[in-house]
A and B are shown apart, each in its own frame.
Chain A
Amino acid sequence: MQVPILKQGPYLIASVQAALRDADLVQLRDALTEQVGTYRTRGVIVDVTALDVLDSFACRTLSEIAGMIRLRGAQTVIVGIQPEVAFSMVQLGLKLEGVATALDLEEGLEYMNRRMKQIEQGQYE
C-alpha cells in the first residue's frame, strides 16, 4: 500500500494510514528520497500515529530514511509514536538513535521551523 506524501510549503509530510508491509516501507523510503530532490524539500515529516507496532525492520527503515534524506540535504522528523509503541520499542532495544522525534504533526512542523531558522542563522548542529 502506498503511503500518501503531501507537500506542505518547504516540507514533505508522509502520513502512514495503516500497518505497512516490509515492501511498503522500502517503497516509502525510496519515494521520499526521490521526492526530496523533485521538490527541493528542506524537511521530511513521517507521521506514524496510525501504527500500533513498530518492529525492528520498520525502525531500521525509518533510520535509513533519515540517513538518506540527510545525504540529500534535508532533515527528517518522525512524529506520532504512541506511548505503548514507544514502550515496546525501547524494551526491544529499538531506540531510533540519531533520528529526531516529535509528539505529533504540529510539534513536528514547529521543530522543522526552528531547525530551518537555526540553519539559516548559521548554527549547524
Chain B
Amino acid sequence: MSVVRKTTQRPRSQRSSTPELHELVSHLREQGSQLREEWARHITEARLLTSMSKDEIFAEARSIYDNYVDVLETGAVEALQAYARDLSERIIPRGVEIHEVVGIVLLLRDVLARSLFKKYRSNFTLFNKILDVYEPATNQIAITVAVGFVQERDRIIHQQQNAIRELSTPVLPVREGLLILPIVGIIDPQRARQFTEQLLQGIRANRAKVVVIDVTGVPSIDSAVANHLVLTVEAARLLGATTIVTGLSPEIARTLVTLGVDLSKMNTVCDLRGGIEEADRALGFRVARINDSSGWEKGR
C-alpha cells in the first residue's frame, strides 16, 4: 500500500518528459493488436480466466491493455485504481481469483518486455534506459491492480456481513400473550445481542407470557451463542415470560451437550409446531376444529 502512495506523489511532469518513455509508449500503441493477441494466447495457455469466455477475455484484454499503456504514459494511478476496482467488481462474482488477476497482469508485462527486447536489442544502452522507465512503472501497475482486487473483495465481504447482520429477527405476536421469534442464519455475537434486546422489548410491548424461540433456520451454534441463549431465557423470565426453544437440529444438540452448556433451565421442543402447542397449553388455549371448514373455499 505504501508503495502505491509514494508513487502517486511523484509529479506528473517527471513521468512524461523522458524521450525513452515517449518512445516506449508509442511502440506499445503501434504494436497494440499484435501484442494483445499474443497476451491472450499466453493467458489461455496458462489456463487463467477459465471462468470467462474467449470473447469476454478479449474484450477485457483490450481495456486492460489500453489502461496499462495509459498509466505507463501518465503515471496517473488514480485512474488505474478506479479501473482495477471496477474490473474486480465485475469479475469477482464470476469466480475469478487473485492469482489469476496478478497472473495476467504479469503475463502482459512479460509480453511487452519481450517485444521491447526484440525491438531494441541492437542498442543495449537505449534498451537499458527504456527498462529503467518500464520496470518500476509495470511493477507499480501490478501492485495497484492486485491491491484494487483485494480491496474490492474485502468491500464485498464486508457488505455481505452487514446484510446478514441486518437480517432483522422479527418478533411476532401470534396469540394473546404468545410471541414467536424465528431466527434464520448464522448468529454472531452482535446479532445475538440485537435479538435479545428486541425480544425483551417485545415481551414488554405485547405483554407476552410465553415466548417461542425457533432456531430451525440456524445451521450451527457455538458456545458463546449458546450461553447467550441461556441468558436470554433468564432475562425473559425476569420480565415474567417463559421461553420455549424449538428446532434444535441433531447437530446443534450434539454440539451443545458436548460443550457442556447448562440447558437445564431451558424448555425445548423438537419443532415449532410442538412448541406452539405447548405454549397454548401453558396459556390455557385449546385449538379445536369447527365442523364447517369450507367457509374459505366458498369465497367468503
Complex Cα–Cα for A122 and B276 (A): 29
Across the interface, which residues of A come within 8 angstroms of B203, CB to CB?
83, 103
Q: A83-B197, A83-B201, A103-B204 are in contact. Are A89 and B240 (CB under 8 A)?
A: no
- Cβ-defined contact, B197 with A87, below 8 A: yes
Which stretch in A14-22, A23-31, A68-76, A90-98 binds the other chain? A90-98
- Cβ-defined contact, A103 with B200, below 8 A: no
Q: Is B257 among interface residues, defined by CB-CB distance under 8 A?
A: no
Complex Cα–Cα for A103 and B237 (A): 9
Q: Is B196 among interface residues, defined by CB-CB distance under 8 A?
A: yes
Q: A79-B240, A103-B240, A107-B240 are in contact. Are A87 and B204 (CB under 8 A)?
A: no
User: Binary interface profile of B, 220-232, with partner A (CB < 8 Å = 1, else 0)?
Assistant: 0000000000011
- Cβ-defined contact, A103 with B241, below 8 A: yes
Q: Is A61 among interface residues, defined by CB-CB distance under 8 A?
A: no
Q: A86-B235, A89-B238 are in contact. Are A107 and B207 (CB under 8 A)?
A: yes
Across the interface, which residues of A come within 8 angstroms of B232, CB to CB?
90
Q: Is B234 among interface residues, defined by CB-CB distance under 8 A?
A: yes
Q: A103-B203, A103-B207 are in contact. Are A83 and B231 (CB under 8 A)?
A: no
Would you give the shortest CB distance from A113 to chain B, in whole angstroms?
Answer: 14
Q: A103-B207, A107-B207 are in contact. Are A87 and B237 (CB under 8 A)?
A: no
User: Binary interface profile of B, 274-294, with partner A (CB < 8 Å = 1, else 0)?
Assistant: 000000000000000000000
Would you give the shortest CB distance from A86 to chain B, in whole angstroms?
Answer: 4
- Cβ-defined contact, A101 with B234, below 8 A: no
Across the interface, which residues of A come within 8 angstroms of B204, CB to CB?
82-83, 103
- Cβ-defined contact, B207 with A96, below 8 A: no
Across the interface, which residues of B come within 8 angstroms of A104, CB to CB?
207
- Cβ-defined contact, B234 with A83, below 8 A: no
Q: Is B239 among interface residues, defined by CB-CB distance under 8 A?
A: yes
The tally of residues in B whose CB lies under 8 Å from a CB in A reads 18
- Cβ-defined contact, B235 with A102, below 8 A: no
Interface residues of B in 229-262 (CB under 8 A from A): 231-232, 234-241
Q: Is A81 among interface residues, defined by CB-CB distance under 8 A?
A: yes
- Cβ-defined contact, B196 with A87, below 8 A: yes
Across the interface, which residues of B come within 8 angstroms of A102, CB to CB?
240
Across the interface, which residues of A come within 8 angstroms of B200, CB to CB?
83-84, 86-87
Complex Cα–Cα for A118 and B68 (A): 84
Across the interface, which residues of B come within 8 angstroms of A86, CB to CB?
200, 235-236, 238-239
Q: A103-B207, A103-B240 are in contact. Are A91 and B197 (CB under 8 A)?
A: no
- Cβ-defined contact, A81 with B207, below 8 A: no
Question: What is the chain B residue whose CB lies nearest that of A78?
Answer: B238
- Cβ-defined contact, B234 with A90, below 8 A: yes
Complex Cα–Cα for A82 and B239 (A): 7
Across the interface, which residues of B come within 8 angstroms of A101, CB to CB?
237-240
Across the interface, which residues of B come within 8 angstroms of A95, CB to CB?
234, 237-238
The 10 closest A-B pairs by CB, nearest first: A83-B200, A102-B240, A86-B238, A86-B235, A103-B240, A90-B234, A90-B231, A90-B235, A81-B238, A95-B234
